[in-house]
Amino acid sequence: MGNTRNRNQAEARVIAARNRYLVWSALGVLGLIVTLALAGVARAAEHEKIISSHGFSFYGDLKYPEDYPHFDYVNPNAPKGGEISLGTVGTFDSMHPYTRKGRAGALSSSIYESLLGEGINSTAAPADVYGEYYGLLAERIEYDEGKNWVIFHMRPEARFSDGSPVTAHDIAFSHNLLLDEGLKSYADAVRKRIPKVEVLNDHAIKFYFTEGISRRSLIDQVGFVPAWSKKWYEETGAGLDESRLEISPGSGPYVVDTVDVNRRIVYKRNPDYWAKDLPFNVGRNNFDTIRIEYFGDAEAAFQAFMAGEFTYRTENDSKKWATRYDTPKVNSGAIVKRELPDGSPPTPSGIIFNLNSDVFEDKRVREAVALAYNFEWTNASLQYGLFQQRASFSQDTPVMATGVPEGAELAFLQGLGDLVPQELFTEEARMPHTSNEARLFDRRNARKAMALLDEAGWPVGDDGIRRKDGKTLDINFLFNSSSPDTLSGAMENFVSNVQKLGINITLEKVDPSQYTSRERDRDYDLVYDAYAAFLGTGTGLMQRFGSEAAEFSLFNPAGLASPLVDAIIEASLNATTREEELAAVTALDRALRHEFIMIPLWYKPTHWVAFYDMYEYPDTIPPYALGQLDFWWYNADKADALKASGALR
């Protein structure tokens, strides 16, 4: 599991990603033909075609035909039964996942479904394709060729867990409730793009899209609105923007069974789930119960797993992965420790600059602070050489910017005119700095950092502290106290290096609830957090990286507001072929790295998992989801053997 193996895995991922790109390119040419063959043309007007289909992708290509029996990667004969239990660190005071108030319980959004289907906890389904969506509450999707509107024809058999029907009235209600009481960044974006919704009958709903804007992400945007019971909200008088333990019934495969605040949540599979026999769900939703155990810190959670208090663990601490699994249960095979492939780009996590902080308006200060981070020493000394250094927002994919722009990406950037700084054409895509593995405090990088701070007008005083106009250079670094010990240690070492540059930096460790509240209010200069990786375009890019909602978007912790990034996103949304889209989002990756909104840290190209040997999964894990809650299953004979041996309670 050394660096050579990690490099080989990374290279394999790049090759696979490039192969997918070649497939995508071919499909882009045949996309409309394939769609028409699969879905048919419902009717034709003089200048437009009306497309009717069981699924949707922007370019019209769908892997699964209308009569697909199940997704290719699932086990259609997977047994139903048993329990999977997970541990998490922190607290919760609400089961309402769609409000700014309170801290929602784990998986609390998973009881709800949408017109288009997805996996548990908003994971991909199907997970072996990118950008394809299939009907769940909707049995058929109808839209004009120009994508000016869409009609979802719903399944009349759909039911909430209380037995009441899921209707178009519930979808319209949910859509409007999100606009009236949901996140401002979401509501503002949706209102501009979706001016009207019309209930055609109990089981048909039509959304209209604004003229003159990109058609990108509009159909899937409305297709993933969660279905809430209008009747329940009207009877209870509940609001969306409030913290509460009692929540509206969902239509999904699981329902809330028990809630013990800050200790435990149990979800049970609904035996009367309306969609259990749909092809979309064959081989999925296999566990009778999903149990979540809460712990005060990461060490307590680890010890509880080893004791058998919960049975599945995704490991995110390299020290534990390297040193803490040499136990009798692991050595006997009672606990399985395994690396499983991960085909998705790694989450762009790191130390994020609050660009609204006066101290970070100057990019030179951000660059100086970044030079205090020593990846090589951290990886070798704290992480057992298990990680690679992340550079990109789409690491190891076809849309990761490399070198200087060429070909389609170069032509795309040239088309943006004066918005593009000249150095973006002449300099290679920004890569993280390198450091001395042997010394935590790299003196070469320190000299560069000090020169940048001097140049930015922050000279060091006789007391070793930097000042400008009599004001000390102060930085507050907000950090979640429930984070793994190795991560905490890495951040403490980073802070120590920053202090040696003459900067008065404070690592403020707060509990999870305070962290959530403070982050929502942008009460920090630095924060350890993440953005979402991307493989293609979508209107969600505006919420994450766009200026429109930069002041308040929870998805843009840096508060980035860049005319260049805005222009690239807007152009990507208007791409008409996959080739154009890939060129645009490659340019987006390049531009985001140029803007330098975070210090990228590390990543690994696999999932680290440990579980009691009573769970099984398909031979091939799909690239876009691990699926432990989605398409894994329980082996009752193995579970009985574990209990008989005393390895499991």
Question: Is 178 a residue whose pLDDT tops 70?
Answer: yes
Supply the DSSP symbol for 280. Answer: G
Of 260, 130, 147, 152, the residue nearest 202 (C-alpha): 152
Q: Give the pLDDT score at 41.
A: 38
Percent of the chain scored above 70 by pLDDT? Answer: 93
Measure the CA–CA gap between 220 and 222, rounded to whole angstroms.
6
Contact 621, 627 (CB under 8 A): yes
CA distances from 270 to 150, 245, 267, 280, 642 (A): 31, 19, 9, 17, 27
CA distances from 638 to 178, 330, 633, 634 (A): 45, 15, 12, 9
The CATH architecture assigned to 254-343+605-645 reads: 3-Layer(aba) Sandwich (3.40)
Beta strands in 524-635 (DSSP E): 526-530, 598-600, 602-603, 606-612, 615-616, 633-634
Measure the CA–CA gap between 271 and 595, rounded to whole angstroms.
51
CA distances from 627 to 127, 260, 622, 624 (A): 9, 26, 8, 9
Question: Is 485 a residue whose pLDDT tops 90?
Answer: no
Alpha helices in 397-555 (DSSP H): 407-414, 423-426, 443-455, 485-500, 512-520, 540-545
Question: Is 13 a residue whose pLDDT tops 80?
Answer: no
Lowest-pLDDT range, 36-40, 58-62, 106-110, 617-621? Answer: 36-40
> What is the per-residue pLDDT across 71-103, written as a single tens digit (0 to 9) for each?
999 999 999 999 999 999 999 999 988 877 778
Q: Which tokens is 96 given?
A: 């309402």
Question: Is 18 a residue whose pLDDT tops 90?
Answer: no
Contact 593, 421 (CB under 8 A): no
In whole numbers, what is the pLDDT of the chain averaged over residues?
91
> What is the per-residue pLDDT across 242-296, written as a single tens digit (0 to 9) for each?
888 898 999 999 999 999 999 999 999 999 999 999 999 999 999 999 999 999 9
pTM of the model: 0.84
Q: Which tokens is 507 given?
A: 């690592």
Q: Which tokens is 130 given?
A: 């990118």
Question: Is 30 a residue whose pLDDT tops 70?
Answer: no
Secondary-structure class of domain 3-69+91-236 per CATH: alpha beta
631 backbone dihedrals φ, ψ, rounded to 5°:
-130, 10
Of 216, 545, 592, 219, the residue nearest 399 (C-alpha): 592
Question: What is the enclosing helix (H) or strand (E) of 573?
Answer: helix 563-573
- Per-residue confidence at 43, pLDDT binned at 50, 70, 90? very low
Residues in the chain: 649
The CATH architecture assigned to 353-603 reads: Roll (3.10)
- Per-residue confidence at 34, pLDDT binned at 50, 70, 90? very low
CA distances from 480 to 16, 297, 451, 524 (A): 36, 11, 32, 12
Q: Give the pLDDT score at 21.
A: 33
> What is the per-residue pLDDT across 381-391, written as a single tens digit (0 to 9) for each?
999 999 999 99
Contact 105, 637 (CB under 8 A): no
Measure the CA–CA gap between 58 and 217, rounded to whole angstroms.
8
Measure the CA–CA gap between 575 and 127, rounded to whole angstroms.
24
Contacts of 305 (CB under 8 A, 6+ apart): 87, 311, 313, 610
- Per-residue confidence at 29, pLDDT binned at 50, 70, 90? very low
> Looking up tokens 């959530």, which residue turns up?
516
Percent of the chain scored above 90 by pLDDT? Answer: 82
Q: Give the pLDDT score at 395.
A: 96
Alpha helices in 115-207 (DSSP H): 168-181, 184-193
> Looking up tokens 């793994």, which residue turns up?
484
Average pLDDT over every residue of 512-519: 90
One DSSP character per residue, 74-140 reads S-TTPPP--EEEEEEES---BS-TT-SSS-BPTTTTTT---SB---GGG--SSSSSSS-EEBSSEEE
Average pLDDT over every residue of 351-378: 97
Average pLDDT over every residue of 532-560: 91
Contact 107, 96 (CB under 8 A): no
CA distances from 572 to 16, 334, 394, 542 (A): 24, 49, 15, 11
Task: Give, in degrees to the nearest 5, the angle at Cα 474 between 469 and 476.
Answer: 155
CA distances from 345 to 557, 560, 629 (A): 20, 21, 20
Q: Helix/strand/coil (H, E, C) string of 374-389?
A: CHHHHHHHCCCCCCEE
Q: Give the pLDDT score at 185.
A: 78
> What is the per-residue pLDDT across 392-409, written as a single tens digit (0 to 9) for each?
999 999 999 999 999 999
- Per-residue confidence at 47, pLDDT binned at 50, 70, 90? low
> What is the per-residue pLDDT across 605-614, written as a single tens digit (0 to 9) for each?
999 999 999 9
- Per-residue confidence at 44, pLDDT binned at 50, 70, 90? very low
Contact 17, 397 (CB under 8 A): yes
How many beta carbons lie within 10 A of that of residue 462, not counting itself?
A: 5
Task: Give, in degrees to the nearest 5, the angle at Cα 529 between 371 and 369.
Answer: 15
- For the chain, the domains span 3-69+91-236, 254-343+605-645, 353-603
Lowest-pLDDT range, 149-163, 184-198, 459-473, 525-539? Answer: 184-198
Question: Is 366 a residue whose pLDDT tops 70?
Answer: yes
Q: Give the pLDDT score at 440.
A: 97
Please report how the helices 407-414 and 578-595 are oriented relative to each other, as an axis angle in degrees rounded to 10.
70
Measure the CA–CA gap between 248 and 270, rounded to whole angstroms.
15
Supply the DSSP symbol for 560. Answer: -
Q: Give the pLDDT score at 264.
A: 97
Average pLDDT over every residue of 489-516: 96
Average pLDDT over every residue of 168-189: 90
Longest dimension (CA), the chain: 80
Q: Give the pLDDT score at 75.
A: 98
Contact 193, 205 (CB under 8 A): no
- Per-residue confidence at 558, pLDDT binned at 50, 70, 90? very high
Question: What is the enclosing helix (H) or strand (E) of 22?
Answer: helix 3-39
- Per-residue confidence at 25, pLDDT binned at 50, 70, 90? very low
**Are 3-69+91-236 and 353-603 equal in CATH topology?**
no
